[in-house]
Structure 1
Amino acid sequence: MNVTLHELTGKQIRVVPMDKNHILGLYEAAKNENIWTHLPKTIITQHDMEAFVEEALQAKESGAEFPFVIIQRETDKIVGTTRFLYMSSASRSLEIGWTWFHPSVWGTSVNTECKYLLLQSCFEQLNTIRVQFKTDERNIRSQKAIERLGAVKEGILRNQMIRKDGTFRNSVLYSIIDSDWPSVKQHLEQRLKLAENTK
C-alpha cells in the first residue's frame, strides 16, 4: 500500500511521520518501565531507541509500515508513537499497532484523538476498507481502550507470538471496517467533545 501522509493535527496532538530527529524526544517519553510490560521490546537506553527508530524507518522505506510520533500541542513534546502495519493494497487493509504513550497521558483523551485522526485518514484518504488492532490477551487496559473506540472484537489468535519472557502470547483481534466508520466517527467525535467540555 502506497501511503503518503503528512502531519495530522487535532486539538490536543499532532501525529507526525517519524524521522531520526525524533529519537531523543521518543527516548525521553519512553523512560517508564510500565510502558513496556506488554510490548515485544523494552527500550532502556538511547541506543535502544536509535535502533527502534532505525528499524521503523527501514520498514517504512520498504513499504511495510508507516510510523508516526505523537506530539502534545500544549507542550510540543513527544508523548508516544504508533504506526500502520501489514499494509495491503490488494485487500485495502492495514493494522494500527506498536502504539505506546507516556503514562502522563494515560486515561486522557489523547489516545482517542490519535486513533480518530488515524482512522479518518485510513477511511477518508487512503480508501481503506478494514483497519485491525491486536493486543496481548493479558493487556486489559489496551483491550478496553480499543473497545472504547467502537472496534469489533473478532476473536483470539492463539499462540500468535512469543513474549520477551518466552511465554506464548494469545492476541485479541479487533477491527473497524468501512461500513462501521460513519458510526465510529460520530462516537469518537462525541467522546472528544465530552472530554473537552469536562476540562
Structure 2
Amino acid sequence: MKVTLRELTGELIRAVPMDKSHIQGLYEAANDENIWAHLPKTIRTLHDMEAFVEEALQAKDSGAECPFVIIQRETGKIVGTTRFLYMSSAARSLEIGWTWFHPSVWGTSVNTECKYLLLQYCFEQLNTIRVQFKTDERNIRSQKAIERLGAVKEGILRNQMIRKDGTFRNSVFYSIIDSEWPSVKQHLEQRLQLTEKTK
C-alpha cells in the first residue's frame, strides 16, 4: 500500500512523520517503565531510542511501515508515537500499532484524537476497508482503550508472539471496517466534543 506520509493535525495533537530529529524528544517521552510493561521492547537509554527510530525509519524507507510521532500542541512536546504497519494494497488493509504514550497523557483525549486522525486518513484518504489493532491479552488498559474507540473484538490468537521475557503472548485482535467507519467517526467526534465542553 502506497502511503504519502503527511502531518495530521487536530485540536490537541499533531501526528508528524517520524525522522531522526525526534530522537531526543521521544527518549524524554519514553522515560517511564510503565510504558514498556506489555510492549516487545524496553527503551532505557538514548542509544536504545536511536536504534528504535532507525529501525522505524528503515521500515518506512522500505514501504513496510509509516511511523508518526505525537506532539502535544499545548506544550510542543513529543508525548508518544504510533505507526501504520502490515499494510496491504491487495487487501486494502493495515494495522495501527506500536502506539505508546507518556503516562502524563494517559486518561486524556490524546489517544482518542490521535486514533481519530489516523482512522480518518485511512478510510477517507487511503480507501482502506479494514484497520486492525492488536494487544497483549494481559494488557487490560490497552484493550479498554481500543474498545472505547468502537473497534470490534474479533478474538484471540494464542502464542501469537514471544515476549521479551521469553513467555508466550496471546494477542487480542480488534478491527474497524469501512462500513462501520461513519458510526465510529460520529462516536469519536462526540467523545472529543464532550471533552472540550468539560474543560
Range class of TM-score, shorter chain: over 0.9
Task: Name the counterpart of 1:146.
Answer: 146
TM superposition shift of 1:106: 0.1
TM superposition shift of 1:102: 0.2
Task: Name the counterpart of 1:168.
Answer: 168
Task: Name the counterpart of 2:44.
Answer: 44
The letter of the residue matching 1:79 is V
The letter of the residue matching 2:41 is K
Is there any run of 5+ residues in structure 2 with no aligned partner, and where? none
Separation of aligned partners in 2, 1:60 and 1:93: 17
* Equivalent residues of 2:5, 2:66 under 8 A apart: no
Deviations 1:51-108 (A, max 9, x none): 0000000001111100000000000000000000100000000000000000000000
Task: Name the counterpart of 2:79.
Answer: 79
Deviations 1:108-137 (A, max 9, x none): 000000000000000000010000000000
Task: Name the counterpart of 2:101.
Answer: 101
Separation of aligned partners in 1, 2:162 and 2:76: 36
- TM-score scaled by length of structure 2: 1.00
Secondary structure of 1:179's aligned partner: helix
* Equivalent residues of 2:26, 2:79 under 8 A apart: yes
Secondary structure of 2:97's aligned partner: strand
The letter of the residue matching 2:171 is S
Separation of aligned partners in 1, 2:9 and 2:47: 30
Task: Name the counterpart of 1:123.
Answer: 123
Structure 1 outlier segments of 4+, above 6 Å? none
Task: Name the counterpart of 1:196.
Answer: 196
Task: Name the counterpart of 2:55.
Answer: 55
Task: Name the counterpart of 2:27.
Answer: 27
Separation of aligned partners in 1, 2:92 and 2:4: 15
Is there any run of 5+ residues in structure 1 with no aligned partner, and where? none
- Aligned-residue Cα RMSD (Å) equals 0.4
TM superposition shift of 1:5: 2.6
Identical pairs, percent: 89
Separation of aligned partners in 1, 2:171 and 2:196: 33
Residue-pair matches, total: 199
Separation of aligned partners in 1, 2:117 and 2:164: 31
